[in-house]
A and B are shown apart, each in its own frame.
Chain A
Amino acid sequence: MDYKRIKAIKKIFSLVITYLILIIIAIFLAGPFIWLVSSSFKTGQNIYTMNLIPHPFTLANYIGVINFISIPKYILNTIIITVSGIVLDVVLASLAAYPLACMEFYGKNLIFSALVSTMILPAAAGLIVNYLTISKMGLLDTLTGVIIPGAVSVFSIILLRQSYLTVPRELIDAAKIDGASEFKIWYKIMLPEVMPAISTIVIFDFIGLWNSFLWPIVVLQDPNKYPLATALKYLSGQFNYKFGYVAAGTVLSIIPVIIVFLAFQKYFINAVAGAIKG
């Protein structure tokens, strides 16, 4: 056998091993969800089996769980929380980060260091005071009470400031010579330039808000107002031994976020990488 052929065989062999390991890791990381999906189509008798193909196949769990709790309502609550949270954060953070990057003003360093220092401090203590504040504002048990404490994220401001800093100064100077106001410069010139950073923020906010759990259980008393993650915990408490229902409910709660993730996965993955480099 000549050298070339040995090399080719070796290459194929290592490729097979590589794929094998990739598949084993995939089973480890995605397997639980695949099993969950298959279990959600199983009847009560064979629910614990390893068998991945449901036999008999049934939609009873989905019908049951949708009849018992109204999943569309929870999805709507989650969408309200997520979308308004993202919009508030993007608007407020992109406004606030602009002068921190591009203007000289009194107290700039003080404001910036105050912002940075909050990132090091643990947020645990804030929970109680925020609960009292929301309660005094009369916003307990409202979606507004869920949304506004997280309306601006310090992380977003810092990320955007970093991004504004990379925009060439000449662009701003040229606009100033043309007599544009600061607001117009921000809106017409800066904002389009930092779109990549904004999409990063949208993605991080989306994951965080869509999955938010702790704060909603503190603020909300009426289960009808719960977002998906919180509703799921409520569901699993209600149907402790009806695994089929819980499995179907869990699958239904995961599907929206997986769809968004798969549609935008390229951006998701770039965002994680970009936030680190930025």
Chain B
Amino acid sequence: MENKLKKSLIAYLFILPAMIFLVIFVFYPIVASIPLAFYDYSVVGQSKFVGLANFSRAIHDHEFWVSVENSILFVGVVPPLQLLSILLAIFVNRKIKGISFFRVLYYIPVVTSMVAVSITWGWIFDPHGLLNTFMIEHGIFNKPISFLNDPRFALLSLMFITMWQGLGYYMMIYLAGLQSIPKELEESAYVDGATRTQALYKITIPLLKPYIWLCTFMSILSAVRVFDVVYVLTNGGPGDATMVTSVYQFQKAFTDFNFGYASAIGLLVAILTTALSILVFIYGGRKGGMSYY
């Protein structure tokens, strides 16, 4: 008994330094942001308890619901498109000369800051930018399209940039998955007379399932959190065509300094996200996908 007590003391000495930071900056914020949502928070004066007012304001706030809708659209479009990285991984899984050079090249967008990526694509999508110049020169468009200022294209353009940046990252994860599949499995399928496509559908994809679930899960979480690209390129506009929850909450908090309302929004989004991740987790888990991790 005494021994375990002494051991516990030593264990806590190891954990303590990290715990101090975690308690202040991870655990405490989770707890403290809940009461904040019930206050009309004032940075200088007295904060006032307002009960559920922040929540009822959010429920009647049209722009908030637009941001939720756009975030859901993001989740609905980007993760499925990112499945393309499976094809990419299959492609770079070949043993040919110079293949690692291509893998490295494909990974460059991943290590580049989202701000740099956004600025680059912002100029490609500009009315005078690369894409419009090319399309007009080749007679595909007759007048320039303002991809980021036209409500019809703005959200799609941001989705495209987000999808584009993640491709290399998920490619590497799938590549790791592909390389963990024993070579004999595919070879025996070929011996049995399977074609390449058959082997892909019947053997490779099913064995990749845990990786597909993991990547989809990560992709959904990052689509829910999407911030940098929207903040840098459109800041929610034109109108509220690209307003997503993270940007809306940021604006309420750090432009309007309305911390109470921003906390309420954060809480509502947290509830929605947690429900969504549990749903994906349970569904993925039931399919046997996540059990590996």
CB B10 to nearest CB in A, in angstroms, measures: 5
CB A187 to nearest CB in B, in angstroms, measures: 11
Chain B residue, CB-CB nearest to A39? B123
Assess whether B113 is in contact with A211, with CB atoms less than 8 Å apart: yes
Knowing A154-B22, A254-B112, the reply to whether A99 touches B11 (Cβ < 8 A) is: yes
B253 CB within 8 Å of chain A: yes
For the complex, give the distance between the alpha carbons of A106 and B169 in Å.
Answer: 39
Knowing A29-B167, A99-B15, A129-B29, the reply to whether A122 touches B113 (Cβ < 8 A) is: no
CB B117 to nearest CB in A, in angstroms, measures: 8
For the complex, give the distance between the alpha carbons of A33 and B111 in Å.
Answer: 12
Knowing A120-B277, A128-B263, the reply to whether A92 touches B17 (Cβ < 8 A) is: yes
CB B43 to nearest CB in A, in angstroms, measures: 8
Annotate B122-134 by CB proximity to A: 1 below 8 A, 0 otherwise: 1110001110011
B94 CB within 8 Å of chain A: yes
Knowing A29-B168, A149-B25, A154-B22, the reply to whether A128 touches B270 (Cβ < 8 A) is: no
**Interface size of B in residues (CB-CB distance below 8 Å):** 93
For the complex, give the distance between the alpha carbons of A25 and B122 in Å.
Answer: 20
Assess whether A25 is in contact with B263, with CB atoms less than 8 Å apart: no
Assess whether A103 is in contact with B7, with CB atoms less than 8 Å apart: yes
Annotate A124-135 by CB proximity to B: 1 below 8 A, 0 otherwise: 111111111100
For the complex, give the distance between the alpha carbons of A267 and B169 in Å.
Answer: 14
B149 CB within 8 Å of chain A: no
Assess whether A229 is in contact with B172, with CB atoms less than 8 Å apart: no
Main DSSP-derived SS at the B contact region: helix
Chain A residue, CB-CB nearest to B281? A120
Assess whether B130 is in contact with A213, with CB atoms less than 8 Å apart: no
B156 CB within 8 Å of chain A: no
**Interface size of A in residues (CB-CB distance below 8 Å):** 88
B75 CB within 8 Å of chain A: no
Assess whether B274 is in contact with A26, with CB atoms less than 8 Å apart: no
Chain A residue, CB-CB nearest to B253? A128
Main DSSP-derived SS at the A contact region: helix
Knowing A103-B10, A125-B30, the reply to whether A130 touches B25 (Cβ < 8 A) is: yes
For the complex, give the distance between the alpha carbons of A108 and B130 in Å.
Answer: 57
A98 CB within 8 Å of chain B: yes
Assess whether A207 is in contact with B124, with CB atoms less than 8 Å apart: no
Assess whether A128 is in contact with B36, with CB atoms less than 8 Å apart: yes
Q: Which residues of B contact A253 (CB under 8 A)?
A: 113, 116
CB B102 to nearest CB in A, in angstroms, measures: 5
Those of A224-278 within 8 Å (CB) of chain B = 228-230, 232-233, 236, 243, 246-247, 250, 253-254, 257-258, 261-262, 265, 268-269, 272-273, 276-277
Binds A, one of B50-58, B59-67, B199-207, B220-228: B220-228
Knowing A99-B11, A103-B11, the reply to whether A273 touches B173 (Cβ < 8 A) is: yes
Assess whether A261 is in contact with B111, with CB atoms less than 8 Å apart: yes
Q: Which residues of B contact A21 (CB under 8 A)?
A: 91
A-B contact pairs, 20 of them (CB 8 A): A26-B102, A29-B167, A32-B121, A95-B15, A99-B11, A114-B27, A115-B22, A122-B221, A126-B29, A128-B36, A128-B253, A129-B29, A129-B32, A132-B259, A133-B29, A150-B25, A232-B116, A258-B108, A272-B173, A273-B175
A residues lining the B interface (CB < 8 Å): 15, 18-19, 21-22, 25-26, 28-30, 32-33, 35-36, 39, 48-50, 88, 91-93, 95-96, 98-100, 103-108, 111, 114-115, 118, 120-122, 124-133, 148-152, 154, 157, 182, 186, 207, 210-211, 213-214, 218, 228-230, 232-233, 236, 243, 246-247, 250, 253-254, 257-258, 261-262, 265, 268-269, 272-273, 276-277
Q: Which 6 A-B pairs have the closest CB atoms?
A: A273-B176, A126-B29, A99-B11, A211-B113, A96-B18, A129-B29
Supplied contacts A126-B33, A154-B22, 6 more A-B pairs, CB within 8 Å: A50-B134, A92-B18, A121-B270, A128-B29, A214-B250, A273-B179
